C-alpha cells in the first residue's frame, strides 16, 4: 500500500499460522514515482507478502496506525497473490475499519490475468453485501468478469474500477472487453480511474494511455478517467 510521503518499504507482520490472510504494507518507492518512460529500468525487488499474526487486534492496530498516523491514502488487497478469502471472518473487523474510514482500497479480485482460489465477482458481492460503504477500486476492470464487476459498480455507488491492462492490444488479444458493455463505460465514467502497473507491463506506458481512446468515448471521459476522478477520490488539491 502506498503511504504518503515515504520511500521505505514496510511489511505489516511476521510469519504466523498457515491459513491466515496475508498482506503487505509498503510505501511507494522513489524509483516508481519518478519514472515515466516506457524503457526498462533498474529497480529493487518488490517486497513480498507477509502473514500477520492471528490476533485480529494487532491487525486492526496496524491498519489504524498506518492509516491515521502515517497518512495512508489507499490500501491494496490482492486476492490472487495473497491467496485469501476476502470473506474470512478474521478480516471482517478490518473491512469494517476501512469502511468507516472511507479509505479507498485497490482490490485485485477478478480472475484475470490469472485466476486464484478466491477470485471472482461472487466473493466481492458477498463482501459488499456486508460492507456496502467500502470504497473498492476493482483492478483491471475486473477482467475477465467485466460485466459482473460493472454490475457491482451499478449496485454500489462507491465501487470504482481501474483500467490497468484493460483495452490494450496485449489484453484485447486475450481477454477482450465486451463491445456490448462499452455504453456502460460512458455511464460509469465518473468512477473509472486510469491504472497502468507501470513499469511491470509488457508494453509502454504510452500504449496504456492510448488504449483509453479505443472506444472513442470523448475528451470529457478521458479527462475524468486520467485526472479528475482520482483528484476527487483522493482529495488532491
Spell out the SS3 assignment of 123-190.
HHHHHHHHCCCCCEEEHHHHCCCHHHHHHHHHHCCCCEEECCCCCCHHHHCCCCCCHHHHHHHHHCHH
Q: What is the pLDDT of residues 165-222, one digit of tens each?
A: 999 999 999 999 999 999 999 999 999 999 999 999 999 999 999 999 999 999 999 9
* Percentage of the chain lying above the pLDDT 70 cut: 73
Closest CA to 181 of 222, 225, 148: 148
Q: 108-148: per-residue pLDDT in tens?
A: 999 998 899 999 999 999 999 999 999 999 999 999 999 99
**What is this structure's pTM?**
0.77
C-alpha cell read off for 135: 470504497
Q: Which residue segments constitute the domains of the chain, with CATH numbers given?
A: 71-234 (3.20.20.140)
| Residue 20, pLDDT score | 44
Mean pLDDT of 98-116: 94
Edge-first strand order for the sheet with 105-108 is: 75-78, 105-108, 136-138, 160-162, 192-193
Taking the C-alpha atoms of residue 62 and residue 104, their distance in angstroms, rounded to an integer, is: 17
Q: How confident is the model at residue 55 (pLDDT cuts 50, 70, 90)?
A: low
Question: pLDDT of 144-153, one tens digit each?
Answer: 999 999 999 9
Contact in structure between 36 and 76 (CB atoms under 8 Å): no
Amino acid at each position: 500500500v502506498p503511504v504518503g510521503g515515504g520511500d521505505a518499504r514496510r511489511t505489516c507482520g511476521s510469519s504466523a499460522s498457515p491459513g491466515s490472510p496475508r498482506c503487505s504494507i509498503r510505501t511507494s518507492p522513489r524509483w516508481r514515482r519518478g519514472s515515466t518512460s516506457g524503457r526498462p529500468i533498474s529497480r529493487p525487488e518488490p517486497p513480498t507478502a507477509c502473514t500477520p499474526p492471528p490476533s485480529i487486534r494487532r491487525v486492526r492496530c496496524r491498519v489504524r496506525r498506518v492509516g491515521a498516523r502515517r497518512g495512508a491514502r489507499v490500501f491494496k488487497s490482492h486476492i490472487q497473490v495473497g491467496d485469501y478469502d476476502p470473506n474470512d471472518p478474521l478480516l471482517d473487523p478490518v473491512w469494517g475499519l476501512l469502511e468507516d474510514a472511507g479509505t479507498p482500497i485497490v482490490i485485485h479480485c477478478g480472475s484475470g490475468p490469472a485466476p486464484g482460489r478466491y477470485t471472482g465477482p461472487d466473493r466481492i458481492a458477498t463482501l459488499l453485501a456486508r460492507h456496502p460503504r467500502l470504497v473498492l477500486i476493482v483492478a483491471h476492470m475486473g477482467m475477465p468478469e467485466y460485466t459482473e464487476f460493472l454490475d457491482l459498480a451499478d449496485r454500489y455507488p462507491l465501487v470504482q474500477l481501474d483500467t490497468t491492462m484493460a483495452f490494450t492490444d496485449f489484453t484485447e488479444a486475450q481477454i477482450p472487453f465486451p463491445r456490448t458493455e462499452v455504453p456502460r463505460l460512458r455511464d460509469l465514467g465518473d468512477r473509472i480511474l486510469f491504472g497502468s502497473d507501470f513499469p511491470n507491463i509488457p508494453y509502454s506506458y504510452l500504449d496504456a494511455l492510448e488504449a483509453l481512446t479505443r472506444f472513442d468515448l470523448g475528451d470529457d471521459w478521458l479527462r475524468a478517467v486520467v485526472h479528475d476522478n482520482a483528484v476527487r477520490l483522493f482529495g488532491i488539491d
